[in-house]
């Protein structure tokens, strides 16, 4: 979609701000010691008086949440506030156990950051980040209707396993001008929070959710009012919802109508937004009296900053500038931190960056993908498989690639060796299992093989003798046969030399 | 043997020395409780069976030769806003009518681990909002000195229980005077500790930044013992403060010696002098001041103009603002009163809350809702929190020069039951002496000075015989001076005498 939607003579510029909730990566919830990992467990199996908001219960802040919030804030180029507070935000909903949510409101732990993206013309664009604040998640409603929706449901059930999960809400300035930019911003944000280890940001598990504030500016000077679209939980939904909303608002303005300020919900199935029932409640705030002010010491901030890894954009730039990779290849490698780390360790251990890039982008990513699918099918563990879990350590892969570059091992053999190493064998063991012996194939063995091959293919020899192998294809064919016999462990140039020598003998 | 007349330390020592059993003590206290209850209605729940079981456990432990705690076999009563695992905890409200918490409040965990035995859960103003124990959904409690009068509130049930000697120790909670005022009305000791000294975990909240749990006793040694156990850093309460181990033990064995208050700097509040006091209370002030002076204390005046002028208004703004968020959780979804007739979610919330809350609670919820509305919040709630800072600073400045302030608890003696039902403002105004203490997080100790009749324990006191009701005053100190307040009261007790047991209608 373009950022200008034309209607007769009028053009419209979308003005979009995004609020993103990410679940911070911690073992326990934000205000109690209940486990934050409940994915496969029964409803209401991870609850206690605190996350249920029972009378008399009191919140105690989990320090890891603060640490992760600071990390995420730093990864998004935000400044950290030394003293902040928690507030109670009051409203009624059955999945909100206390009738108020504890949140940082307008005194967030991190603020005034930015993210760089490419605009629709491909130019660098800075999206400003207003703030990142910490808060608790609420429970989840399950309705008894067949489609799981509230309409037509006789009963609703509440699962409080989510209640009290630590969230960071990240609010952007209205700097985004298209659905595509919105997705790029969200993707870049996810990459960064994953990189610094603050969040797994797994969309399917609801660890990342989007709300978008969309309005359009008309070329005749009219502005549509701001509409908040809620309930998007995939990049596709984010993109489609914004596209839909921009179109809807542009149409209203084209027809001379007025865009109402309202909250709309994205319906993923119907791919439309719908005005949600107007929530008349005020969002009231009082200081949370059960929690003291949150004070982060300069030392804590400093230590957290020291723990912040190099971010993907910087890595990408380094791969291109220092190691001469293409921007496309570098982007693939830098996309996730574990893969980037694997790649870098491989290069550090002596592998040629171009070859290491090639192998990591193909073999390593393919393997990770396969293993991941296998895991999901077997339902053993739905955690994303990390490159660090592979049996082949980057140093071992580097050793293998060095041998390939040194001409000691062919690429074909190297792949076989790699497969064996994936099963847990050392480089040497894998070489042996793949039929390779140290130092390649001895010259006399190779000569014997060449002679045997020639003897087995008299028709080919005849054609060569007859001078029909003008382009050298027959020679290559024979060469290939020998290579296969050696299981690829011979050096191609040596094989070529042996065959040429043998044919010369035959020609005499 | 009349175990009910014994103090905490006497019972614990006797049980440990096998002079008598915890079960004997419990049964005798229970008998007295049952005898008085038809007149007093001090308890919402009597925990006879679980209490007997606990008493038997203590006895069994002693029989096995185990080291028993400081409260071995001591019957205690908890205000019914402190959670007790598996025992109904109502906060005096219909909305929590039959709620059994799945966990214990930290204070009860601390007491029971020292061998205390629970006798019952005390009646209270609904969600601790009130100062007569008349807003309880379970009916009012009577004053054990005069059954036609209120015991004070909101911890009226706890105070009446100790005054009538159901148990030698009960816990109350004090948000704006809810320990000190009923202690004064019932003629016993009541301590509102420094905010943060005693854990609030498991205390059903009213105004979280003001609430504080504290003990009622008829004996200062008992109070010191209780504080020794309760003053405990709790990781489950983020506002609980680690103060190390404060030694609360008093210089015992000198009860009839000379009053020694040398070096103690005691002050009166100049700005409170204009307020009218009932004659017995004014008499008590004069009498106690004389005792202090004779005991060697330096008496002076401090000025608290901001407190005198703004404390009441700011207190109610803050308490109501916090209360309405604390009470938002009672929606009929998870526990407590539920309805089956609702036609929508909103209808369900409305029905549960309309039926479940009493009128005092409703009025404070509505006040809190209004005071924190976005358009008014700055003018009311936020302004009140700013004034609160000034109040704390004003006290802080005063306590640079003095160790404690002597002041009334209330300007008048306990009213008749039902007297102020139609006049909420009367109750609010009478809180001036107590609630600034909560605003600043200070400790306040209410103590009995004698009785408003000529047969009182202090010769010549009071000068104007009235109804025979106990007359209390309070000592207020800087933060963490709780022990010093006990020390001063201990010296005064040498002249004033110890609180007596009320007949409790029998």
- Say how many residues make up chain A: 508
**Among candidates A58, A88, A282 on the partner chain, residue whose Cβ is nearest the Cβ of B237:** A58
pLDDT band with cut points at 50, 70 and 90 for residue B454: very low
Query: B276 — contact with chain A (CB < 8 Å)?
Result: no
- B 305-344 near A (Cβ less than 8 A): 321-322, 324-325, 327-331, 333-335
Contact B157, B124 (CB under 8 A): yes
Residues of A in contact with B203 (CB under 8 A): 56
For residue B459, pLDDT beyond 50: no
Q: How far is residue B500's CA from residue B144's CA, in Å, rounded to a whole number? A: 11
Structure tokens at A114: 């930015």
So what's the pLDDT on residue B427? 57
Q: Percentage of residues in chain A with pLDDT exceeding 90? A: 47
Reported as a single tens digit per residue, the pLDDT across B240-258 is 998 888 899 887 655 567 8
**Among candidates B325, B334, B345 on the partner chain, residue whose Cβ is nearest the Cβ of A97:** B334
So what's the pLDDT on residue B289? 96
Provide the angle, in degrees to the nearest 10, between the axes of the packed helices B220-230 and B8-16. 70
So what's the pLDDT on residue A442? 66
Lowest-pLDDT range of A188-202, A246-260, A397-411, B320-334: A397-411
**Among candidates B89, B200, B329 on the partner chain, residue whose Cβ is nearest the Cβ of A58:** B200
For residue A377, pLDDT beyond 70: yes
- Map tokens 């994936």 to a residue: A422
Q: How far is residue A349's CA from residue A398's CA, in Å, rounded to a whole number? A: 6
Q: Percentage of residues in chain B with pLDDT exceeding 90? A: 83
- B 122-161 near A (Cβ less than 8 A): none
Q: How far is residue B166's CA from residue A498's CA, in Å, rounded to a whole number? A: 109
Cβ separation of B202 and A56 shorter than 8 Å? yes
DSSP 3-state of A312: helix
So what's the pLDDT on residue A4? 47
For residue A6, pLDDT beyond 50: no
**Among candidates A90, A283, A290 on the partner chain, residue whose Cβ is nearest the Cβ of B208:** A290
Residues of A in contact with B208 (CB under 8 A): 289-290
Contact A437, A489 (CB under 8 A): yes
So what's the pLDDT on residue B407? 96
**ipTM value:** 0.93
- Stronger pLDDT, B476 or A369, i.e. the higher one: B476
Would you give the DSSP letter of residue B214? E
Residue of A nearest to B343 (CA): A154
Cβ separation of B322 and A286 shorter than 8 Å? yes
Lowest-pLDDT range of A181-190, B459-468, B472-481: B459-468
State the Rg of chain A over Cα. 30
Residue of B nearest to A32 (CA): B236
pLDDT band with cut points at 50, 70 and 90 for residue A5: very low
Preferred mutation among A286, A293, A295 to probe B, highest tally of B CBs within 10 A: A286
Residue A162: count other Cβ atoms within 10 Å of its Cβ: 22
Residues of B in contact with A90 (CB under 8 A): 324-325, 328, 372
Residue of B nearest to A91 (CA): B328
The alpha-carbon gap from B150 to the nearest alpha carbon of chain A, in Å, equals 27
Q: Which of B356, B324, B355 is nearest to B206 (CA)?
A: B324
So what's the pLDDT on residue A497? 79
Q: Which of B54, B156, B183 is nearest to B112 (CA)?
A: B54
Burial class of residue A9, CB neighbours in 10 A (0-12, 13-18, 19+): exposed
Structure tokens at B479: 């933060």
Cβ separation of B101 and A55 shorter than 8 Å? yes
Would you give the DSSP letter of residue B198? B
Partners of residue B192 on adjacent β-strands: B444
**B67: Cβ contacts below 8 Å, ≥ 6 apart:** none
**Among candidates A99, A284, A290 on the partner chain, residue whose Cβ is nearest the Cβ of B239:** A290
Give the DSSP per-residue string, A246-306: HHHHHHHHHTT--PPPEEEEEETTTTEEEEPPP-----EEEE-TTS--EE--HHHHHHHHH
So what's the pLDDT on residue B250? 81
- B 236-255 near A (Cβ less than 8 A): 236-239
Contact B345, B411 (CB under 8 A): no
Phi and psi, residue A107, nearest 5° = -120, 75
Structure tokens at B243: 């103060």
Partners of residue A169 on adjacent β-strands: A21, A133
pLDDT band with cut points at 50, 70 and 90 for residue B365: very high
Partners of residue A111 on adjacent β-strands: A79, A131
Q: What is the mean pLDDT of residues A9-29?
A: 94
Reported as a single tens digit per residue, the pLDDT across B162-206 is 999 999 999 999 999 999 999 999 999 999 999 999 999 999 999
Cβ separation of B102 and A49 shorter than 8 Å? yes
**B232: Cβ contacts below 8 Å, ≥ 6 apart:** B106, B110, B198, B199, B240
Residues of B in contact with A59 (CB under 8 A): 238
Query: B181 — contact with chain A (CB < 8 Å)?
Result: no
Q: How far is residue A491's CA from residue A499's CA, in Å, rounded to a whole number? A: 13
Would you give the DSSP letter of residue B381? I
So what's the pLDDT on residue A116? 94
């Amino acid at each position: 979609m373009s950022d200008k939607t034309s209607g007769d003579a009028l053009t419209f510029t979308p003005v979009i701000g995004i609020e993103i909730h990410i679940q911070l990566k911690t073992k326990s919830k934000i205000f109690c010691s209940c486990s934050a990992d409940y994915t496969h467990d029964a409803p209401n199996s991870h609850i206690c008086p605190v996350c249920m908001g029972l009378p008399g219960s009191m919140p105690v802040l989990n320090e890891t949440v603060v640490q992760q919030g600071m990390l995420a804030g730093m990864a998004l180029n935000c400044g950290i506030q030394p003293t902040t507070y928690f507030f109670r935000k009051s409203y009624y909903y059955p999945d909100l156990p206390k009738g108020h949510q504890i949140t940082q409101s307008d005194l967030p732990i991190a603020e005034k950051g930015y993210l760089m993206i490419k605009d629709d013309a491909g130019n660098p664009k800075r999206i400003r980040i207003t703030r990142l604040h910490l808060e608790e998640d609420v429970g989840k409603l399950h309705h008894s209707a067949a489609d799981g929706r509230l309409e037509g449901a006789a009963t609703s059930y509440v699962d409080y396993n989510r209640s009290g999960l630590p969230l960071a809400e990240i609010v952007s300035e209205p700097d985004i001008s298209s659905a595509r930019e919105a997705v790029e911003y969200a993707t870049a944000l996810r990459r960064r929070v994953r990189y610094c280890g603050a969040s797994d940001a797994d969309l399917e598990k609801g660890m990342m959710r989007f709300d978008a504030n969309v309005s359009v500016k008309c070329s005749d000077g009219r502005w549509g009012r701001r509409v908040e679209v809620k309930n998007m939980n995939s990049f596709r939904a984010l993109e489609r919802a914004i596209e839909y909303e921009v179109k809807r608002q542009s149409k209203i303005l084209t027809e001379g109508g007025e865009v109402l300020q309202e909250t709309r919900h994205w319906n993923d199935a119907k791919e439309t937004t719908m005005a949600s029932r107007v929530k008349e409640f005020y969002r009231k705030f009082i200081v949370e009296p059960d929690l003291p002010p949150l004070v982060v010491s300069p030392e804590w901030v400093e230590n957290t900053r020291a723990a912040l890894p190099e971010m993907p954009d910087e890595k990408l730039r380094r791969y291109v500038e220092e190691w001469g990779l293409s921007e496309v290849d570098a982007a693939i490698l830098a996309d996730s931190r574990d893969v980037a780390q694997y790649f870098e360790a491989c290069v550090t251990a002596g592998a040629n960056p171009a070859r290491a890039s090639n192998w990591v982008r193909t073999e390593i990513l393919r393997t990770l993908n396969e293993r991941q699918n296998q895991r999901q099918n077997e339902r053993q563990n739905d955690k994303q498989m990390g490159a660090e879990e592979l049996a082949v350590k980057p140093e071992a892969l580097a050793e293998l690639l060095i041998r390939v570059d040194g001409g000691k091992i062919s690429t074909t053999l190297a792949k076989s060796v790699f497969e064996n190493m994936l099963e847990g064998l050392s480089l040497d063991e894998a070489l042996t299992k793949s039929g390779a012996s140290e130092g390649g194939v001895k010259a006399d063995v190779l000569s014997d093989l060449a002679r045997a091959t020639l003897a087995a293919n008299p028709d080919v020899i005849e054609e060569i003798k007859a001078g029909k192998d003008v382009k050298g294809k027959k020679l290559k064919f024979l060469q290939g046969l020998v290579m296969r016999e050696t299981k690829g462990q011979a050096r191609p140039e040596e094989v070529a030399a042996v065959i040429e020598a043998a044919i010369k003998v035959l020609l005499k | 043997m009349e175990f009910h007349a014994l103090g905490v330390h006497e019972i614990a020592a006797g049980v440990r020395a096998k002079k008598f059993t915890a079960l004997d003590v419990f049964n005798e206290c229970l008998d007295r409780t049952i005898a008085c209850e038809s007149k007093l209605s001090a308890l919402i729940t009597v925990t006879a069976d679980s209490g007997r079981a606990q008493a038997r456990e203590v006895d069994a432990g002693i029989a096995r030769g185990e080291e028993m705690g400081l409260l071995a076999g001591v019957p205690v009563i908890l205000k019914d806003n402190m959670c007790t695992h598996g025992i109904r905890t109502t906060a005096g409200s219909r909305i929590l009518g039959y709620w059994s918490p799945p966990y214990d409040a930290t204070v009860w965990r601390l007491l029971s681990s020292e061998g205390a035995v629970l006798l019952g859960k005390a009646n209270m103003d609904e969600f601790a909002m009130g100062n007569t124990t008349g807003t309880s959904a379970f009916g009012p409690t009577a004053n054990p000195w005069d059954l036609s009068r209120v015991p004070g509130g909101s911890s009226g049930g706890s105070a009446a229980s100790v005054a009538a000697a159901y148990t030698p120790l009960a816990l109350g909670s004090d948000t704006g005077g809810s320990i000190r005022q009923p202690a004064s009305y019932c003629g016993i000791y009541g301590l509102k500790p420094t905010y943060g000294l005693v854990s609030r975990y498991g205390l059903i909240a009213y105004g979280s930044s003001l609430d504080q749990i504290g003990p009622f006793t008829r004996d200062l040694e008992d109070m010191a013992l209780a504080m020794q156990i309760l003053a405990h850093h709790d990781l489950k309460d983020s506002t609980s403060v680690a103060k190390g181990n404060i030694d609360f033990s008093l210089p015992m064995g000198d009860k009839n010696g000379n009053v020694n208050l040398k070096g103690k700097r005691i002050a009166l509040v100049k700005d409170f002098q204009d307020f009218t006091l009932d004659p017995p209370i004014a008499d008590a002030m004069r009498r106690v001041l004389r005792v202090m002076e004779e005991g060697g204390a330096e008496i002076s005046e401090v000025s608290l103009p901001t407190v005198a002028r703004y404390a009441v208004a700011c207190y109610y703004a803050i308490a109501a603002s916090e209360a309405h968020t604390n009470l938002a959780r009672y929606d009929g979804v998870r526990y407590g009163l539920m309805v089956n007739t609702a036609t929508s979610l909103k209808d369900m919330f409305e029905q549960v809350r309309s039926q479940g809350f009493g009128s005092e609670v409703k009025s404070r919820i509505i006040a809190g809702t209004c005071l924190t509305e976005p358009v008014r919040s700055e003018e009311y709630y936020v302004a009140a929190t700013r004034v609160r800072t000034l109040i704390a600073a004003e006290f802080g400045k005063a306590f640079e020069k003095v160790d404690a302030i002597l002041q009334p608890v209330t300007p008048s003696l306990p009213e008749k039951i039902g007297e102020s039902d139609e006049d909420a403002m009367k109750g609010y105004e009478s809180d001036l002496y107590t609630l600034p203490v909560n605003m600043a997080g200070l400790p306040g100790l209410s103590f009995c000075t004698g009785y408003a009749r000529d047969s009182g324990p202090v010769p010549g006191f009071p000068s104007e015989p009235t109804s025979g009701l106990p007359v209390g005053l309070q000592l207020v100190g800087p933060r963490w001076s709780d022990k010093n307040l006990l020390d001063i009261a201990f010296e005064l007790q040498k002249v004033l005498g110890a609180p007596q047991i009320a007949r409790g209608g029998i």
